[in-house]
């Protein structure tokens, strides 16, 4: 009996410890010495990640000569300025990026390519504009690296990392009574007890993320900091998501002696500030207006469309696809088509 319980103890310890990193680990310093600003990497995880972040090889550029797609085809509303050769190269690319198994038929009634009856085609047309919008107007975030459909889709019809508003879990069968939007150990909150939907308030609505006061203690009068602990928990939940999406920890952006200070933060924090605004715009200007276009089975528990967060593009990497410059091979996705 004694032996058995010892064995159980050992097994239990083995399970517990298996969550820790086995050496070797690598440390990269990202701030001044003594500030604790460093990132810890596990080379085994990095090797696995590298394989997942390979960008596909681009097809050879097509000639801009010859008649335009708008002159040859019947129902081209966005890519009409391309030559027919460029247009077909683009169709082949989006097939490889979004529907490699189903092919053209994923978006087309192949009896009539001009037909718009499949919702996937209508969504794809808007997605082309969304991609152009990111590359043209959000250089503050994506720089010249830019994005293509592959950045989010990676060969899947539906990107693997999207979010929907969670169903109400107000009075779940829990010892804690009212869950109040937290205490669920969800993936979104990094398996912590933090609020499990930091996306609706910050990546759809524009609630204030800042919670620190400008003065010592709580401040007084109009300078008083009225942010609640609960609000701070939402901010932390968003921060956990951002760290997780990029495969980094808080010190990738902050000097943790002062989370608030921009002077002491790394430039990556500024990039992220724009990233938050960009994700918000994609969700409000592009995704949400498509709600009625999607079939019911693609919508979430609350009837909302799947939306974008940091991991939709980043998928665990500090830059999507480790900064592979694949967008430059598709100039037609760089600027918004003329209306």
Interacting residues with ligand HEC between 59 and 98 (CB under 6 A): 73-79, 91-92, 94-95, 98
Q: How far is CA 228 from CA 97, 208, 209, 213, 262, in A?
A: 44, 12, 12, 11, 22
**Smaller CB distance to ligand HEC: residue 196 or 259?**
259
According to the binding rule CB under 6 A, does residue 260 interact with ligand HEC?
yes
181 contacts 193 by C-beta, under 8 angstroms: no
Q: How far apart are CA 156 and CA 295, in angstroms?
A: 17
- Quote the least distance from Cβ 15 to ligand HEC, whole Å: 26
Scanning 153-161, 165-173, 176-184, 217-225 for contacts with ligand HEC by CB under 6 A, the matching segment is: 153-161
Quick one: how far is CA 183 from the chain centroid?
23
**Smaller CB distance to ligand HEC: residue 12 or 66?**
66
Listed residue (55, 62, 132) closest to 325, CA to CA = 55
Scanning 11-19, 23-31, 44-52, 158-166 for contacts with ligand HEC by CB under 6 A, the matching segment is: 158-166
Q: Which residues, 6 or more positions from 203, have their beta carbon under 8 angstroms from its beta carbon?
A: 163, 276, 279, 280, 283, 307, 308, 309
Degrees (nearest 5) of the Cα angle 162, 168, 171?
A: 145
Site string for ligand HEC, 189-228 (x = CB under 6 A): --------------------xxxx----------------
Single out the residue of 37, 189, 194, 248 in contact with ligand HEC (rule: CB under 6 A): 248
- Quote the least distance from Cβ 301 to ligand HEC, whole Å: 13
Structure tokens at 45: 């995880």
**Smaller CB distance to ligand HEC: residue 65 or 101?**
101
Of 270-309, which residues contact ligand HEC (CB under 6 A)?
Answer: 271-273, 275-276, 279, 282, 287, 298, 306-308
Quick one: how far is CA 30 from the chain centroid?
23
Any idea which residue has 């097509």 for tokens? 62
Listed residue (117, 112, 68) closest to 88, CA to CA = 68
HSE-up (13 A, CA, CB side) for residue 183:
13
- Quote the least distance from Cβ 175 to ligand HEC, whole Å: 27
**Smaller CB distance to ligand HEC: residue 37 or 127?**
127
**Smaller CB distance to ligand HEC: residue 184 or 326?**
326
167 contacts 173 by C-beta, under 8 angstroms: no
Single out the residue of 8, 13, 114, 180 in contact with ligand HEC (rule: CB under 6 A): 114
**Smaller CB distance to ligand HEC: residue 46 or 176?**
46
**Smaller CB distance to ligand HEC: residue 7 or 206?**
206
- Quote the least distance from Cβ 304 to ligand HEC, whole Å: 10
- Quote the least distance from Cβ 94 to ligand HEC, whole Å: 4
Listed residue (24, 47, 33, 29) closest to 252, CA to CA = 29
According to the binding rule CB under 6 A, does residue 106 interact with ligand HEC?
yes
Degrees (nearest 5) of the Cα angle 10, 11, 16?
A: 95
**Smaller CB distance to ligand HEC: residue 41 or 106?**
106
**Smaller CB distance to ligand HEC: residue 22 or 223?**
223
Residue 2's φ and ψ, nearest 5 degrees, are -60, -45
Q: How far is CA 82 from CA 55, 111, 327, in A?
A: 24, 23, 17
According to the binding rule CB under 6 A, does residue 55 interact with ligand HEC?
no
Structure tokens at 133: 């919008």
- Quote the least distance from Cβ 173 to ligand HEC, whole Å: 30
């Amino acid at each position: 009996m004694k032996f058995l319980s010892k064995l159980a103890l050992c097994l239990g310890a083995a399970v517990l410890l298996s969550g820790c990193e086995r050496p070797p680990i690598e440390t990269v310093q990202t701030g001044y010495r003594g500030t604790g600003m460093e990132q810890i990497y596990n080379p085994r995880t990095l090797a696995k990640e590298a394989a997942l972040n390979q960008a596909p090889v681009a097809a050879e550029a097509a000639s801009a000569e010859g008649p335009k797609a708008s002159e040859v085809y019947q129902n081209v509303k966005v890519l009409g300025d391309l030559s027919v050769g460029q247009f077909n190269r683009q169709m082949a690319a989006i097939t490889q990026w979004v529907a490699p198994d189903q092919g053209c038929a994923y978006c087309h009634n192949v009896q009539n390519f001009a037909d718009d009856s499949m919702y996937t085609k209508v969504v794809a047309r808007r997605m082309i504009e969304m991609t152009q919008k990111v590359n043209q107007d959000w250089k503050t975030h994506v720089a010249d690296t830019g994005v293509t459909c592959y950045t989010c889709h990676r060969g899947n019809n539906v990107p693997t990392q999207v979010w929907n508003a969670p169903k109400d879990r107000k009075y779940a069968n829990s010892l804690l009574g009212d869950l109040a939007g937290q205490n669920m150990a969800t993936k979104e909150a990094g398996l912590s007890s933090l609020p499990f939907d930091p996306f609706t308030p910050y990546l759809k609505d524009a609630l204030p993320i800042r919670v620190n006061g400008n003065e010592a203690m709580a401040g007084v009068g109009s300078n008083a900091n009225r942010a609640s602990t609960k609000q701070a928990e939402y901010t932390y939940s968003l921060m956990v998501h951002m760290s997780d999406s990029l495969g980094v920890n808080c010190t990738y952006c902050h000097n943790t002696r002062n989370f608030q200070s921009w002077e002491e933060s790394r430039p990556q924090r500024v990039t992220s500030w724009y990233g938050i605004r960009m994700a918000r715009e994609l969700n409000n200007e592009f995704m949400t207006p498509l709600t009625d276009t999607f079939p019911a089975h693609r919508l979430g528990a609350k009837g909302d469309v799947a939306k974008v967060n940091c991991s939709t593009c980043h998928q665990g990497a500090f830059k999507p696809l480790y900064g592979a410059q694949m967008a430059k091979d598709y100039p037609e996705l760089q600027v918004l088509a003329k209306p």
